[in-house]
Structure 1
Amino acid sequence: MARTASLSGFPEWLPQERLVELHVLDTLRKTFELHGFSSIETRAVETVGQLLRKGEIDKEVYGLSRLQDDEGEDATSNKADPNALALHFDLTVPFARYVVENAGYLAFPFRRYQIQKVWRGERPQEGRAREFTQADIDVVGDGELQFRYDVEIALVIAEALSALPIPDFRLRINNRKLAEGFYRGIGLTDTAGVLRSIDKLEKIGAAKVAELLKSELGATDEQAALALELAGIRTEDTSFVERVRALGVKDDLLEEGLNELQQVIEAAVQRAPGKVIADLSIARGLDYYTGTVVETVLVGHEQLGSICSGGRYDALASKGNRKFPGVGLSIGVTRLVSRILSQELATASRSVPTAVLVALNSDDSWYAAQDIAAQLRGRGIATEVAAKAEKFGKQIKFADRRGIPFVWFTDDHGKHQVKDIRSGEQVDADPASWAPSEEDLHVRITTAS
C-alpha cells in the first residue's frame, strides 16, 4: 500500500500501485466500449445551483474561488449564490446538464461512459476520499427510454466487475415503483420519507427504523412492520414476486415495479448467474430515482460499502417540456483500488513498463544505443537507455532496482546480446527480431490466489 497521503483524503499511488489502477481503468474502458458506450468528459466545475439540484447537503460541496478577488481582498465562497462555482461531487448531475446543452448534437438513445475525478467533503477513511475517481455508464433517451436498458446496464456492470481483480460481488437490485406502490398500498403516503428511513436500515437497524417511521411519518405498528417485512425480502431468483404478493398489498404501481424487477432478475439468472440478487431493502434515498435502483457489495468486504450504485431516473435531465429519461450506474474506482491494494488482492509484475535497458560500453556509444532502443520500441518493446557508461555490474543493478527484466549489451564489434537478469541467462540477439516472452512484454496484473 502507498504511504499515507500527506493531505488527508487525497490519495496518491506509488508507481506499482498506479499500474494496478490503470489496469482497472483500462478493463472498464474496454468493457464499456465493447458494449457500444461512447466516452465523454465534462468540466470539473458546475454552478452551485446546478450541483444542489440533487438535494445534496452543502457541506459536501467544495466551493471554487480565487485566493484574491479583483480588489485584492480575501475571497470567500458564497454558497448561497446559485451562480457561484464549485467542484462536482459526482458525474450524474454534470452529465444531465451535458445532455440538455448538447441534445441537438447527440443521437438518442445516447450511450455514454465517463471515467473522471470528482471531489466531495467526506470524512476520510478507507473507501471514502475527498478526491476520487468514478466510472459511470448511462443510457439516456429523448422523451422515453425502453425498460430493457435497465436490464442491459445491470448486465454490463456485472461483466465489467467480473473482469476486475476483486473478490466476488453482488448487485443488490430493487425497484422504487415496487417500494413506493407497496407503501402507498399500506397507507403511507409520504413514500419518499419512508424510502429515506428504509435507506438507513443497515446503519441503524430495524428497531430504530421502525421508530423513525412511527415518530416522523406517523406509521402505525402494523404499517412499520409491513414496511420492514418488505425490506427483509432477498432472493437470487424471481421468487420475491410471490413473497411480496403474499403480504396481501394491492397497488398498480407495486405491480408495475414487480414486473420490472422480475425482468432484471430473470435476465441476470441467465446472463450473470450468482452475481445479482433482488434485495427489497435497497432504497437509494435520493429523490430523483424513479424505478430500478442498484447497490453493489464485495462479498466478505461488506463494511466497505457500495462499490457501484445507481438506477433509473426519468426527470433529472429536462428542458421545458422535453425530458431525457435515463438509467445509469457508477463504479467507485478509488474505493475499489484502495481495497485491492490494502488487501493485496492484486499486484503488478513490475513497477515500470520498461522491459529492456540498453547498457553503454562508453559514453560515446549513447547515440548508437538510442538507435537500438528505437528499433525495439518500433516493435512495441518498452525500452530505456542507460544515461552513463558505468561498469556493467552497476548498470545491471540499476535495471534491477527499476524492475527492468532485461539488459541489452553491444560489444565493440557490433555483436548484440541480451541478459535476463532474473535467471542470469544471456543470449545472442538481433534488435530487428528479438522479443521478450509475452509475459514479460507488458506489465501483468496478478491476483492473489
Structure 2
Amino acid sequence: MARPTPLSGFPEWLPEGRIVEQHVLDTLRRTFELHGFAGIETRAVEPLDQLLRKGETSKEVYVLRRLQEDPDAPPERGGQLGLHFDLTVPFARYVLENAGHLAFPFRRYQIQKVWRGERPQDGRFREFVQADIDVVGAGSLPYHVEVELPLVIAAAFAALEPIGLPPVRILVNNRKVAEGFYRGLGLEDVEGVLRSIDKLDKVGAEKVAALLVAEAGADEAQAAACLELAAINGADSTVVDRVRALAEAKGVRHDLLDEGLTELAALIEAAAERAPGVVVADLKIARGLDYYTGSVYETVLVGHEQLGSICSGGRYDTLASDGANSYPGVGLSIGVSRLVSRLLGAHLVRATRSVPSAVLVAVSNEDERGRSDQIAAALRARGIPVEVAPAAAKFGKQIRHADRRGIPFVWFPGGVDHTGAVVGDQVKDIRSGEQLDADVQVWAPSDDDRWPRVVAADV
C-alpha cells in the first residue's frame, strides 16, 4: 500500500500533542463547571435548511449526500442533512426542543467537533474542536451576564498560563454603541457599516473608508467619523469618556448610544477589578453578523495576534424562538484546535512524556509473565498507570524499551537468583539510575511522575 497523503485541514496530533489537547480540554471543562455550566453534547448533523437559515453559508456546509439521496430519508429540504459548522445552530434547536425540561437561565458548555468547508491555513481547519459557553434566558436575560461570561473565559485562559499559554486580551465592544453612533450620524445601513468596519484589520482604514462610501451609503465625513470611533480603545472607563467626546464633537445624539456606553462602562469597570489588563474595550470590534444585539467579544493571544481571534461571541436576543417564546443568550466560543495548533506549532508547551505509563513491569521469562501481570494489576488498583514488557528480553533491552517509550520506572519482579537466594521486587528510576527495593502495596511514583504533565516548553 502506498504511503497515504495527509488531508489538509483535518488535524491529527501525535500522542504528545494529544496529551496537550486533553489538558486544554480538561482545564476548560473544569473551569466551566466551577462556574456552574452544565455540559451537553448535540448530534453532529442538522437539517440543511436550518444550517443555511442565516444565508451565505452553503459553501461551508458538508452535506451528507448519501442520506439526501435516500428515498426513505426524512422530509426536511428533501431529506438533506449537513454536518454542523458551529455549535450555535444545534444549541438553538436543542433549547427549543428541550425548553420544558430546562431551568432558565440555562448555563451550558459544549465541547465538540465541528466541520467547516473553508480554505485551510494557519489555525484554520475543516474539522476542529470548539468549546462553547452560553447563558440563555426565557423571555429576558439581565445585562450582568454580558459582564460575567468574558470573565469566565479570562479565568479559563488564566488556568492555562502555567503550561506556557501566552497572555490573552479579550477585546470587547457593544453593538448598541456602534448602532447608536452610526444612526446619530445619519447612517441607516447599520449592518453595512458593521460589515465594513469588521474588515479593518484585514484591509486597513483607507479601503474601509472606501467601502463605507461605496457600500454603506456614507459620505466622506461620516466614513471618517466611523473610523475615528473604531480607533478608540483602552482598558478603563476613560474609553467611554472619549466616545462621548467624539459624539459631542460630531453632533451625534442617540438613546441607543447612551444605553450602550452605560453597559460598556459596567463591563470594563468589572473586568478592571477582577481581571486587570485582560479585558480591553476596542471600538473596532464589530462582529459583522446580524444576530448580535449587545456586547461582542474577540480574544487574541498576545504576541500571536496574526493568528486571529481564538475566542469570540456576544449577546443575541433571538438565539431561538418558537413564535410564542424567545430565548435570548450570551455566548462565547473557543477555537480549541486553533489554540492547540499554535501551542504545538510554536513549541510553547510540551508533555513530560508521550505515554500514560509511569511503570514498565519487566518479564524475567515468558513462563513467569503471569507474575508480572499480577504486579501490574496491583499497581493499577492503586491508581498507578502501568504496562508490562512486550517480550522477555534481556533486562537491558527492556530498559531501553522503557526509555524509548518515555516510561520513567522499570519494575523487576523478585525471585530466586543464580545463587539460590530469594530476591525481592525492585524498581529502577531509569533517568537517575537509582534502584530500590519495592513493595507493590506501598511504593508509588511522585505526583509529578504518576501521570504525564503538560508544562511550558522551557521547563
TM-score, length-scaled by structure 2 = 0.93
Please name the residue that 2:175 is paired with.
176
- Structure 2 SS opposite 1:123: coil
Task: Report the residue type matching 1:111 in the other structure.
Answer: R
Q: Tell me how far 1:156 sits from its aligned partner.
A: 0.3
- Structure 2 SS opposite 1:290: coil
- Structure 1 SS opposite 2:173: strand
- Cα RMSD, aligned residues only: 1.9
* Paired positions, count: 442
The residue correspondences of 1:205-220 to structure 2 (distance < 5 A) are 205-220=204-219
Please name the residue that 2:371 is paired with.
368
Deviation readout 1:328-362 (Å, 9 max, x if unpaired): 00000000000000111000000101000110111
Q: Tell me how far 1:56 sits from its aligned partner.
A: 4.0
Choose which of 267, 271, 279 in structure 1 pairs with 2:270: 267
What is the rounded CA distance, in whole Å, between the counterparts of 1:82 and 1:56 in structure 2?
A: 20
Please name the residue that 1:42 is paired with.
42
The residue correspondences of 1:409-424 to structure 2 (distance < 5 A) are 409-412=412-415, 413=422, 415-424=424-433
Please name the residue that 2:227 is paired with.
228
**Is 1:114 aligned with 2:114?**
no
Choose which of 394, 397, 409 in structure 1 pairs with 2:397: 394
Choose which of 328, 338, 350 in structure 1 pairs with 2:341: 338
Please name the residue that 1:18 is paired with.
18
**Is 1:162 aligned with 2:158?**
yes
Q: Say whether the 8 Å CA contact 2:212–2:218 is kept in structure 1.
A: yes
Q: Tell me how far 1:83 sits from its aligned partner.
A: 4.8
Task: Report the residue type matching 2:394 in the other structure.
Answer: K
Please name the residue that 1:408 is paired with.
411
What is the rounded CA distance, in whole Å, between the counterparts of 1:273 and 1:68 in structure 2?
A: 51
Please name the residue that 2:27 is paired with.
27
TM-score, length-scaled by structure 1 = 0.95
Q: Tell me how far 1:411 sits from its aligned partner.
A: 2.6
Please name the residue that 1:65 is paired with.
65
Q: Tell me how far 1:163 sits from its aligned partner.
A: 1.5
Q: Tell me how far 1:69 sits from its aligned partner.
A: 4.6
Please name the residue that 1:359 is paired with.
362
Q: Say whether the 8 Å CA contact 2:68–2:79 is kept in structure 1.
A: no
Please name the residue that 1:350 is paired with.
353
Please name the residue that 1:251 is paired with.
254
- Structure 2 SS opposite 1:111: strand
**Is 1:433 aligned with 2:429?**
no
What percentage of residue pairs aligned between the two structures are identical?
Answer: 67
Deviation readout 1:373-394 (Å, 9 max, x if unpaired): 1111111100001232111111
Q: Tell me how far 1:300 sits from its aligned partner.
A: 1.1
What is the rounded CA distance, in whole Å, between the counterparts of 1:274 and 1:183 in structure 2?
A: 29
Q: Say whether the 8 Å CA contact 2:68–2:81 is kept in structure 1.
A: no
What is the rounded CA distance, in whole Å, between the counterparts of 1:171 and 1:260 in structure 2?
A: 16
What is the rounded CA distance, in whole Å, between the counterparts of 1:417 and 1:7 in structure 2?
A: 47
Q: Tell me how far 1:448 sits from its aligned partner.
A: 3.2
What is the rounded CA distance, in whole Å, between the counterparts of 1:185 and 1:61 in structure 2?
A: 38
Q: Say whether the 8 Å CA contact 1:55–1:286 is kept in structure 2.
A: no
CA 1:426–1:114 in 2, change beyond 3 Å: closer, same or farther? same
- Structure 1 SS opposite 2:280: strand
What is the rounded CA distance, in whole Å, between the counterparts of 1:51 and 1:275 in structure 2?
A: 34
Structure 1 residue runs of 4 or more that deviate by more than 6 Å after TM superposition: none
Runs of 5+ unmatched residues, structure 2 = 416-421
Runs of 5+ unmatched residues, structure 1 = none
